[in-house]
Amino acid sequence: MIINIYGSTGEIGKKTLTIIKKFFPKIKVNLLCANNNLKVLKKQIDIFKPKYVFLSDSNASNKLKSTLRSNTKVLSFEQLCYYLSNSKSDFSILAISGYKSLYYLDYIIKNTHNLGLVNKEAIVSAGHIFQKKKYFKKTKIFPIDSEHFSLFESFKFNNNENNFEKIVLTASGGPFYNKNFKSLEKISFSEAIKHPKWKMGYKNSIDSATLVNKCLEVVEAHYLFGVPFEKIDIIIHPQALVHSIITKKNFVSNYNLFKNDMSIPIINFLLQSKFKLKKNNNNLYFKTNSQLDFYKVQNQVFPIYNFFKKMNKKNPANLIKFNTGNELAVNMFKNNLIKYTDIIEIIKKVVSIELNSPLNNINDIINYHEKIEKKSKFLF
């Protein structure tokens, strides 16, 4: 069995490869895709000897081609698309952050039987298309982020997904869950990415601090499981051990709990290969003496959630603008162009941009993203 990993040098990609080496040595790593992290990718090539690699950064790709001493072939974007269109993989993991993963999604869906989905932005921007066209009908989707994995596991054993009153997604609250948002004006980028529970890339870490990640996950749950927006809520749970709560119509609530380690959803995804774990890992079991705290989302701490709840989420354009505005604001904060507290205001301003354009397919959505990006950069 073979696997393709999109985003192999990021945290999820690296963890997946570690798990394959430790627990699933019979799964062959076939394709690794990255942006520009040559140092990490070269080590991965040496260890896993993939047949193909792809770098989205053309300078990094050319450098790798000139220095690589192995049988691994470095693909151009056109060669990657051709290869994916004319081959099949057993497993793929999409762990590329941001909406630009949409460039690859059509090809990945045609290529793979099982897709481990980490990227939120693709579902947020194009979920309305996936629903209408039964886009994933030939590909099994397996959510790998912890909240949707926990819902996936629950619904797997409960065939009636409508037998519930409400779904609650938990949020750790990031590093500032007990701080007034207005007091964070002087917070630095390095402070904002210090997540207390999860090791993630900078984008997801900032999104966790602002609670934008949880807003995106509400949209993802809506599209993946067909749950109405009004039946999905968020609570703050600093221990990050309970990942979702399903309250049923008989007044019973199921708390979906497991250790805050992304190895757990990744291992469960790879177990679909029918290969058994090479060895067990007792460190992944939940410890019963853990404290569990839950807090209501406070507007003075996470003002974005109140804005998100009031936003018209049934209009796909608003979701795309929300997503685009956040990506723009996070990168501006990373480059020291704005304050941390400016992120929310930029998102609001981008959502308010008027732009009428069709959103009927993936290309339409990519074009809409690019148009909104141009308008946003002109504004800021």
Phi/psi at 155 (nearest 5 deg)?
Answer: -70, -25
Do 52 and 14 belong to one domain?
yes
Domain C-terminal end among 269, 284, 299: 284
User: Whole-angstrom Cα distance, residue 354 to residue 318?
Assistant: 10
Domain count, the chain: 2
Do 230 and 101 belong to one domain?
no
Q: What is the pLDDT of residue 105?
A: 86
Q: What is the pLDDT of residue 135?
A: 61
DSSP secondary structure string for all residues of 257-324: E--S-THHHHHHHHGGGSPPPSS--GGGSPPTT-----EEPPTTT-HHHHHHHHS-TTSHHHHHHHHH
Q: What is the pLDDT of residue 377?
A: 81
Q: What is the pLDDT of residue 193?
A: 94
Angle of CA points 339, 370, 340, to nearest 5°: 10
Do 228 and 200 belong to one domain?
yes
Which residue from 170, 187, 352 is spatially nearest to 254, judged by alpha carbons? 170
User: Whole-angstrom Cα distance, residue 178 to residue 188?
Assistant: 17
Do 48 and 105 belong to one domain?
yes
Q: Is the dihedral of CA 183, 186, 191, 193 positive or negative?
A: positive
User: Whole-angstrom Cα distance, residue 260 to residue 63?
Assistant: 37
Q: Rounded to 10 degrees, what is the CA torsion of 217, 262, 195, 209?
A: 0
DSSP secondary structure string for all residues of 75-127: EPHHHHHHHHHT--EEEEEE---SGGGHHHHHHHHHHEEEEEE--SHHHHHHH
Do 63 and 164 belong to one domain?
no
- The domain spanning residue 98 has which CATH number? 3.40.50.720
Structure tokens at 291: 């404290």
Do 310 and 247 belong to one domain?
yes
Do 31 and 6 belong to one domain?
yes
Do 219 and 270 belong to one domain?
no
Q: What is the pLDDT of residue 102?
A: 87
* Containing structural domain, residue 173: 151-256+290-379
Do 215 and 275 belong to one domain?
no
Predicted confidence pLDDT, tens digits, the chain (380 residues):
999 999 999 999 999 999 999 999 999 999 999 999 999 999 999 999 999 999 999 999 999 999 888 899 999 999 999 999 999 999 999 998 878 888 888 899 889 999 999 988 888 998 888 776 566 667 888 999 999 999 998 887 665 556 789 999 999 999 999 999 999 999 999 999 998 887 788 998 999 999 999 999 999 999 998 899 999 999 999 999 999 999 988 889 999 999 888 999 999 999 987 777 766 666 667 676 678 999 999 999 999 999 999 999 999 999 999 999 999 999 999 999 999 999 999 999 999 999 999 999 889 999 999 999 999 888 77
Domain C-terminal end among 284, 300, 324: 284
Do 127 and 199 belong to one domain?
no
The pTM score is 0.90
The Cβ-side half-sphere exposure at 340, using a 13 Å CA radius, reads 25
Do 157 and 141 belong to one domain?
no
Do 74 and 32 belong to one domain?
yes
